[in-house]
Each structure stands twice: as structure tokens, then as C-alpha cells.
A and B are shown apart, each in its own frame.
Chain A
């Protein structure tokens, strides 16, 4: 195999790695690092009798994943303390949420920035508290970018912590305002539940209010995962986001027999039916997720998505340049109407 299909196979069927030769292993680990799935892979292969040299590498990856989840929980707790005087819900998103909730999707997961969501009308207050009390600051001061974020995006411009050098993204909904679907952010916030004492790493500073930190309800969490993968961005990190989807679907359907109906209902409410179905289909095709028979309706474009997601060579480099470019253009197309896209690219081009 000359692309990331080797990684997909290892995640889907861990014992299959026992047949790999040294050359395959090098390709597998290099691709897993490039896709930021090395920690996930290491957790999946934990109990297998792999060659000793490989075992040592996987142990490093597990140590690093523990470090990342510890750091993610610490960042979430720092945000909680900065937002002490805020009365609304603060929803943890993506990797931090999966780890906080103890979900399978969080096991070994790479976590970079802290992503949170708050009510749109509270953005100004949250922004002030993070800047004044939390020690975060704007990554770059640029009037056009700043205005662009505030007028058209689903999040504030990124902030970085002065001392810890960690980024925080403050969302008020899950897709850019210019995207065609408009998910019901208020309903997502209303349905979010507190992680309370379930937080995996208890804050060392005790007495605080852990109740403001929340995670999305299961169906909303899946909707966000699908929106993030399919409706936003150029599918970089696609295999990792799709692995999240696989884990969430598998775990939630085990807990709730009616999960598929609930998910369908919720996806329709957010205008994300096509995105959720497509993500579930791709997850079934690549990772073998068990999805209902009537969700399997094949779609011509699915193959194109899969081609993009496995486009990585044995040196860890992005391959299938044309497919990548097509998805890059698509990501802008999804984000903005044509005239706005033209204006945006013109401004960006003039500014160099």
C-alpha cells in the first residue's frame, strides 16, 4: 500500500499489523504521525506482540498522548477559572470534550488548541474575561482579519496564552456564518450537560465551580463532528476527525438503541442531514462502522472524499495534489457566496 489506507487498516483491524514487514511499519508510523493519529494507533495496538523497536515507539506515543490530555484538561480548567464570573455554559469541544467525558474518541487523541463554545450574546463578556483575567492575548492584530472573524466566522479570532503558549478558540456556533447550513447553536447550548465531577483530571485548586464546563449532548456532538469534517475546511486531519466519528457512533449506539433516530432528527433540525449521513457512510466504508441499512445509500462523490482522506505517501507527504487542491477550493466555496469569496481573495492577495 502506498497511501494512508495502511493506517486505516491498522486502526480498523489491529491484529492485521502483525503481518507487516519493517518497510510497512515505517510507512505506517510515519503516516500515523502526519495524520496526528499516532497516539490513537498506539492505544489500539497496546496489547499486540509487535516487534520490540515498534513497541518502544508506540510507548512513546502513549506517553505523549497522556501528556496531551493532561495539558488539555489543565487548559480547560484555566479557562474555567478565568470565566469564574461568567454565568453561562462553557461547552468544551472536540478532543478536550472527548477526554473530559472519558469517551473512546479521546483515547490517545492528539489535542492542540482548546476549543470552547458560549452563547453568541455573551461573546463580548467572555472575550474580556479571557483577556483580562485569563492571560490570553490576540495572536495577531490585523484589522481586516479581526473584522472578518467577527462578521462572518463561527469563532473569535484565535487567542494565545501569554505564558503557556497555548491557543484558545472561542466559538458561538459550529459553522461559519457564511456557510449554507445554519445549525441551531442555541439548542445545542441548551442541550449541553455539565461535566461536573466527571472531569478526568480534577482541578488542583479545588473549590471552584466545575459546573460551567459542559459537553454537547451525544447527537449534537456527532452533528458537530460531521459539520467540522465535511462542511468546514479542506479535509486536512480528515482521517482523525473521521476516527472521532467512528468512535462516537459506535459508543453512542451501544448506549442508546434509538440513537440513529435521535441523530436523524437532530441532524435535520440543524440542516446537517447530508453531512451527517455522508460522514457516517465514509466512517462505515473506511473504519467499518456499523450503520443502519438505509444509511448506506452510496453516493458518487464518496469515492472522491476517500481519495482525499488517504492522500498521503509513505514519507508522510501529502499526495494526490489535484484532489487536495480541489478540496481546498471547495473549502472556500462552502464558506462564502461567490462575490464575497472574490472580495476576500482580492483583499488577501493585495495584502500579500
Chain B
């Protein structure tokens, strides 16, 4: 097995691979990330059979936690396989903080959390804001500490999909991108390395100050979201709410009671940024 270890915020991973190429790609893209001594989780990129190691190589996503029916990916999508494997370990294993499927950025020590379905644009928005006066904290998981209520950064590589790829290349021509992976099960995917200062600050927490439910592709609008609805939507957006038991309930209740929430609709990145700045000035 070729091995690569990486620290992303509070979590440390060991990635093993039958092939050298994915490890080399990860080493390049994660160059600014610390290398941990101890690792929390193991992800294994393994050939689905001995022959599939060499002929039309096919990558099974294995590790400490596995999904029995996870479909294998071709070798040129191994970076996506690693990303999915790492996400799965967090989703099924992490118990230190409440996990919200959300992106997060920080300003003045306060965090803006954005959650929504796949395609809502939360990932792209966090990447864009992370280049214009905000610190990028993560595009996939916001970790809410059950004791302090703070958001813990998880600044993994940003996973850009479909139209977001070209948008970010226009926005950030100088940034480091991974290889373009076409025709994956999630469409076209390209990873973007977060700004160096976001990686350097991966242990600096922030108090959540505003929660947004962004929705891409609709006339610009802002709507209130009542706390009861916020609570229900966040239980669905959390991968470990039930497993944390009473601690999870207390953490989520406090979050809902202390953080104002709004839904925003937008059709372009500039519209979204303007709405965010407006709400941030009013509420945070």
C-alpha cells in the first residue's frame, strides 16, 4: 500500500492506495496541510479485484467505515474516491462535535454557516467568500462543539461541481486546482486548494453568528426561517445528531436558539455576496 497522512482541522487521516498516482496527487494538493503522527481514520483505495489493479483499474472505497453498496470509481477519479472515503469516516465515526452538512466562513471571530441540499451552492459560496475578506472554514462539514457552541474548522479541499468549476477559475485564476474529473457520479468535479491562511488557521474556532439556507437559481430573495423549521432541517443535515444523544440535542437546541437564520435565493455569485453582506451587517 502507498500511504499518505493528512490533518484536516481536528481530524487526521491515513490514506492507503494500491496505486501510486492518487497518493502523488494528494501529496501535491495537500502540500500545505500538516502531517499527523496519530491518525483517526484509515481510508483504503483498493482494486475491486486483482485484475482491476492493472486492466481498466477500478477503485473500491474501503476503510474503517464502509458502505456495503458503494460503487467503485475508475482510477482517474481516485481523488474523488479519497474525498468520499474521508467524508464517510467523518459522517459515521466522528463524535467529538455535532456535524452539520454545511459550509462555513469566518470574519471578526464570528462564523457564517451555510447549509442546504447538494446544488444549493453552499460550497461555491464559501470558496468565493473565502477570497473576499472572509476566512474559509470548510465547504462540507461544520463541526459544532457541544461544550462551547463554537464552530470548529474543517478546511478540506474544496470540491467544485459542474458550472462552479468555471466560475471559480474566473474568480481565482491564481489558485491551485486539482485535475478535472469528468463524468463522475456527481457530474464534473475539480478540487480547489483553500487559501493558505485558511489552512494555517485550521485550529482557530469561531462563534456561529448567522445561519443561511442558500438556494441557487431563483430570483434574489430573503426569507425568515422559524426556529422549529431550522431545528428540523439541521437534524436532517447532521450525520451524528442521533448518535450524540442528549449532548447532540443540547448542542443543537443552543445553536438554534442563539443563531439567527435566513433563507436566501440567488442567481449569481455577486448577488449572493451582496445578500450575505447585507444580512451580516443587520444580524451578526
- Residue ranges of A at the interface with B (Cβ–Cβ < 8 Å): 22, 25-26, 30, 33-34, 51, 53-54, 56-57, 59-60, 63-64, 66-67, 70, 315-317
Contact = CB atoms under 8 A, between A and B. Distances in A.
Chain B interface residue number, banded: 20 to 34
Nearest to A33: B64
B94 A30 contact: no
Nearest to A61: B95
A66 B1 contact: no
A30 B40 contact: no
Instruction: Tell me which of B12, B36, B64, B65 has the highest count of chain A C-beta atoms within 10 A of its own C-beta.
Output: B64
Nearest to A52: B38
Instruction: Tell me which of B12, B38, B243 has the highest count of chain A C-beta atoms within 10 A of its own C-beta.
Output: B38
Contacts of A51: 38
A317 B66 CA distance: 12
B244 interface: yes
16 contacts: A22-B37, A26-B14, A34-B64, A53-B37, A53-B38, A54-B38, A57-B40, A60-B93, A60-B95, A63-B247, A64-B93, A64-B243, A67-B245, A70-B245, A315-B42, A316-B64
Contacts of B96: 56, 59-60
B242 interface: yes
Contacts of A30: 42, 64
Contact of B242 (A34, A53, A57, A67): A67
Contacts of B245: 63, 66-67, 70
Given A26-B42, A53-B37, A59 B95 contact: yes
A60 B77 CA distance: 31
B155 interface: no
Interface of A, secondary structure class, is: helix
B16 interface: yes
Nearest to B93: A60
B61 to A, nearest CB: 14
Contacts of B161: none
B122 interface: no
Instruction: Tell me which of A26, A60, A67, A316 has the highest count of chain B C-beta atoms within 10 A of its own C-beta.
Output: A26
B257 interface: no
B148 to A, nearest CB: 15
B16 to A, nearest CB: 6
Nearest to B12: A53
Interface string B58-97: 0000011100000000000000000000000000011110
Contacts of A59: 95-96
B191 interface: no
B44 interface: yes
Nearest to B40: A57
B37 A315 contact: no
Contact of A26 (B39, B65, B95, B243): B39
A209 B42 CA distance: 45
Contact of A67 (B1, B38, B243): B243
Nearest to A57: B40
Nearest to A54: B38
Contacts of A316: 42, 44, 63-64
Nearest to B89: A33
B10 to A, nearest CB: 8
Contacts of A56: 40, 96
Given A57-B38, A60-B93, 16 more contacts: A25-B38, A30-B42, A30-B64, A33-B64, A53-B38, A56-B96, A57-B40, A59-B95, A60-B95, A60-B96, A63-B244, A63-B245, A64-B93, A67-B242, A67-B243, A315-B16
A59 B1 CA distance: 29
Shortest 8 CB-CB contacts between residues of A and residues of B: A53-B38, A60-B95, A63-B95, A67-B243, A33-B64, A22-B37, A30-B42, A22-B38
A79 B171 CA distance: 57
Interface in B1-20: 1, 12, 14, 16
A57 B14 CA distance: 14
Interface string B234-271: 00000000111101000000000000000000000000
Contacts of B39: 26
